Structure 1
Amino acid sequence: MMRKGIAVLVSALVLSTAMSGCGKETVLDGTETAATLDDTVNMTLGEFNLMLRYQQAQMESTYASLFGTTNFYGQDSGTGTTYGETAKESLLEQFQELYVLEAEAPNYGVELTDEEKAAITEAAVQFVEDNTEKTRNALGADQASVERLLTLATIQDKMYDVLTADVDTEVSDEEAAQKRISYVFVSTQGTEVDEEGNTVELTEEEKQAVRDRLQAVLDDAAESGDLAAAIEAANEEAGEDEQISSATEITYGADTTTVADVVKEAADQLSDGEIAPIVETDTGYYGVQMLSTYDEEATAAEKENIIQERRNTLYQEQCAALEENHTFTTVDSALDKLTFDRVYYVDTTATGTDTGTESETETDTGTESETDAAAE
């Protein structure tokens, strides 16, 4: 679901393009029909490609920073198709939702205000001013396609509120209850390797020494009432090889999966401030302290999370029901023109608009390129 995201991102988009050394400019006919709703309403290639390339740039930036990869969308996903083609299919489903919601909006009394229409036009005009003709040609995007995309996003935003108006907002304390604990884990896995590169297992005596160090910390914590402080104090006196990781403070509830089950089971036996006996696992030992058996702030936040989950579920159910009343037909010959032999990046050096935004750079996968900077 692209709710709210499109309006923020596209209105703020500033692009620059870098073409390969051959100097050939790419011109995409953004007015070409890429899909139709009920054989009467056309989705243009330009509006679809604009969103596709923004998402591509976001993914490229993420994976480039994490793994140093380039042209992520052009890589095989392991299923015989590229990540880009998979993303394209997913985005088509989102656009189907957008178009169905627009068609159904009059039945729910949803329409754009004059102020919303003016804001959409202003954002689209800014997009045109902030981007070179070469960039717009490569995207197949113009003022009309940007306005169309922003209109669909605004309608979706308003329809979301209407379709989820009857969501159940009653959440009991029991359902949302969150506890707060502090815990630490010390490993009994060996850190040294032998000549063949295999990890050297700790001896039983060495494992006992690890357990004893943790027990001493827990004994101090039981007296002071502060596991984190007890660990810090122990580390100040311990050697480099005997350091214990800092305590982790976290909240959890009945459905929390981010906390190990053995930790939750031990913590559930405790009252506020109490320390659990050492929890032993195959790979190490846990030390656990209960800070609060009922964290009011975390519980209140969890209630909001539960309501939001209910709202999102209801929204998806409502959309699925509405989509059954419509047909959404894609034009493969048009969509096939959207390939992934180019890389789109977020250009963090560009000024962007006054909303404090990012920009994108598009480049061929060739080795030489010439940058045509975006207008500011």
Structure 2
Amino acid sequence: MYKDYNKIKIDIKPLARIFILIIFILPFLGGCRVAEKNFELSKYKGKSIKSFERKTRTDLIQEGNGVYKIEDRLQLIAPKGDITSITILKGAEKFKLFGLEIGMDKKEAEKKLAEVYKSEVNKTIESEKNSITYTYRNSDSELFVSYDINSDLVTEISYYYYKDEKPQSEDIGNAGELIALIGNDRVYYNEAMVYLKSAQEIYESDYGNGIWEAEIFEEGKSFGEYIKEEVIKQITQLKVIRDKATENGIALTEEEEAEAAAYAAAHFAGLSDEDIDRYLVTPKLLEQVYADNLLAEKVFETLTIDVDTHVPDDIARQITIQHILIYGTYLNDENKRVPLDDEQKDKAYEKISGLLERVKNEEDFYTLAEANTEAGEIELTFGKDGGPKEYGKEFKEAAFSLKTGEVSDIISTDYGWHIIYCVSDFNEDATTKVKEEIIEERRTKLFANLYEEWSSDYEVVVNKEAWDSISFD
């Protein structure tokens, strides 16, 4: 029953050869795997980035929060390390999604898609890319396939996997490519464009359409890039606040919803047919946008209503003064202020002294100032933290030492000589306005702290490939 293992002889040389052979074959097999003609990427949905890199032998570059790329070929979005989005770009050759690949004919692509999805739910013409994008949806995913308008060949494929989450409600008419994931919210092309086009209209009306390429930041960022970042931040804030409104039991009344609908109707009526088609705008989408903004305002008002509203008079106090300035300096060729020569100084001081005598003889101060002052402004209203900084603390201290109706002596500053007349040592309207501003600052600070706490729970992932491709035209 028992074998005598001492009598069994094992020839280890063949085993050693096999072991060595395996060592050398493994890298070869790995190389063969990498050399596959195409990788089917749909099987990597929900998988980790590390798993993807290991199995496809690719080196992904992390571009941002959860965004990974192979330049001009592939983009993956993995908010928490697991892949939820795959985009095959025009430069890709060895990647497939559901059998589709870049350069495939539209008819062949549609045959393959019929096995996975039903007919498309939306079509979007993207004139910037000379392409038309078809949108497909099922219970757990979305697929966007772009074809060149002229050749009908596939130019881009984007896949979004919902994992165990339900897709966002389509009641507002989501359309176009997915631009961002904000927590469980999905921001699509048409919603993002409502905000971006609004910003574009505002800035172009003030600065013209050349503003977008202007590099106004030290890091070389264009103004257009900056505004696009700000638009994403704005949308993020609105989505987060909307969630928190639900948690705090804050909702729009029927009257407020009607107000949002009225704003939306007016907005939609002002759009051209071309813009409606190009940006996929619907009345329901605009209603949601306006409702989100009204709700955010209501959340702010509700959650900051109990902020401390007491502002002492000595903190907010504003005074109003009039003043006469006679320069004791001048601007040289280098635009620097330098003293007058002695003769000119004497003449200037003689002038300010004469004006002071006339003020003391009860001449109307404003009329006298209007005829003689070398200052740009005669009347100023300011508080302890305000006032004309160029005149220095001597000017401000003298102004605050006066009672209503009093006139100062001659005040010497780096600019020259001043006479100050106190119109009011407590401007009630201006003081009330400053108090309101201080209270509003307190509310804003409180809400900013709340938002910072809320937003830490939200993962924000931007589809950079799609967002960066949108231009201001």
TM-score by length of 2: 0.58
Superposition misfits of 4+ residues, deviation over 6 angstroms: 22-29, 196-201
Counterpart residue identity of residue 63, structure 1: Y
C-alpha contact 1:164 1:311 (8 A) present in aligned 2: yes
2: CA distance between counterparts of 1:172 and 1:330? 46
For 1:201 and 1:269, the matched residues in 2 are separated by: 28
Report the CA distance between 1:134 and its aligned residue: 1.1
Kindly report which structure 2 residues correspond to 1:243-254, keeping only aligned pairs within 5 A, or say none.
244-245=374-375, 248-254=378-384
Say if 2:363 is the partner of 1:231: no
Distance 1:118 1:267, change over 3 A: closer
Q: Identify the structure with bigger relative contact order (alpha carbons < 8 Å, sequence gap 6+).
A: 1
Inter-partner Cα distance in structure 2 for 1:106 and 1:33: 24
Q: CA deviation at 1:192?
A: 8.6
CA contact (8 A) 1:183 1:287 kept: yes
Distance apart, 1:218 and its partner CA: 2.3
Q: Does 1:130 align with 2:130?
A: no
Label 1:138 to 1:96 Cα distance change in 2 as closer, same or farther (>3 A): same
Asked if structure 2 preserves the Cα contact closer than 8 Å seen for 1:186 and 1:210, the reply is yes
Q: Does 1:85 align with 2:230?
A: no
1:263 is matched with 395
Amino acid at match of 1:133: D
Decide whether the 8 Å contact of 1:184 with 1:286 is kept in 2. Answer: yes
- The counterpart of 2:200, out of the listed 30, 49, 56, is 56
Distance 2:452 2:207 in 1: 32
Q: Deviations over 1:3-39 (max 9, x none)?
A: xxxxxxxxxxxxxxxxxxx99999899532211222x
Distance 1:291 1:50 in 2: 49
Amino acid at match of 1:45: Y
Alignment of 1:351-362 (within 5 A): none
SS of 2:221 mapped into structure 1 = coil
Decide whether the 8 Å contact of 1:218 with 1:287 is kept in 2. Answer: yes
Evaluate the alpha carbon distance shift between residue 199 and residue 330 of structure 1 in structure 2; reply closer, same or farther with a 3 A threshold.
closer
Partners of 1:159 and 1:23 lie apart in 2 by 39
- Counterparts of 2:427 and 2:276, CA distance in 1: 52
Larger Rg: 2
> 5 Å matches for 1:191-340?
202-224=340-362, 226-232=364-370, 234-235=371-372, 244-245=374-375, 248-259=378-389, 260=391, 261-340=393-472
Sequence identity of aligned pairs in percent?
26
The answer to whether the 8 A contact 1:128-1:143 is kept is: yes
* Partner SS, residue 224 of structure 1: coil
What RMSD in Å do the two structures reach over aligned CA positions?
3.1
Matches of 2:462 and 2:219, distance apart in 1 = 22
Q: Does the aligned pair in 2 maintain the 1:35–1:43 contact within 8 Å?
A: yes
Q: CA separation in 1, counterparts of 2:295 and 2:316?
A: 32
2:380 touches 2:387 (CA, 8 Å); kept in 1? Answer: no
Q: Which runs of 5+ in 1 are unaligned?
A: 1-21, 65-69, 236-242, 343-376
Report the secondary structure of 1:141's partner residue.
Answer: coil
What is the CA-CA distance between 1:139 and the residue it aligns to? 3.8
C-alpha distance in 1 between matches for 2:464 and 2:454:
24
- Residues 123/219 of structure 1: CA separation in 2 closer, same or farther (3 Å cut): same
Q: Which amino acid aligns with 1:144?
A: K
Q: Post-superposition shift, 1:93?
A: 1.6
Q: Equivalent residue for 1:32?
A: 177
Distance, in Å, in 1 between the alignment partners of 2:199 and 2:257 is 25
Matched residue SS, 1:268: helix
How much does 1:200 deviate? Answer: 9.8
Deviation at 1:322, TM superposition (A): 1.3
Select which of 186, 208, 212 maps to 1:42.
186
Please say which of residues 121-130 and 172-181 is displaced more in the overlay. 121-130
CA contact (8 A) 1:218 1:230 kept: no
**Which 10-residue stretch deviates more, 245-254 or 214-223?**
245-254
* Contact 1:184–1:247 under 8 Å retained in 2: no
Q: Residues 200, 295 of structure 1: CA spacing in aligned structure 2 closer, same or farther, 3 A cutoff?
A: closer
User: Alpha carbons of 1:23 and 1:37: their partners in 2 closer, same or farther (altered >3 Å)?
Assistant: closer
SS of residue in 1 equivalent to 2:419: strand
- Map of 1:19 onto structure 2: none
1:158 partnered with 2:298: yes
Residue matched to 2:288: 148
The count of corresponding residues between Structure 1 and Structure 2 is: 304
> Is the 1:222–1:274 contact (alpha carbons within 8 Å) kept by the matching residues of 2?
no
- Once the two structures are overlaid, the 10-residue window that deviates more, 83-92 or 48-57, is 48-57
Mark the CA change 1:302 to 1:192 in structure 2 (over 3 Å): closer, same or farther. closer
Q: Partners in 2 of 1:175 and 1:168 — Cα distance?
A: 15
Alpha-carbon distance in 2 for matches of 1:84, 1:246: 36
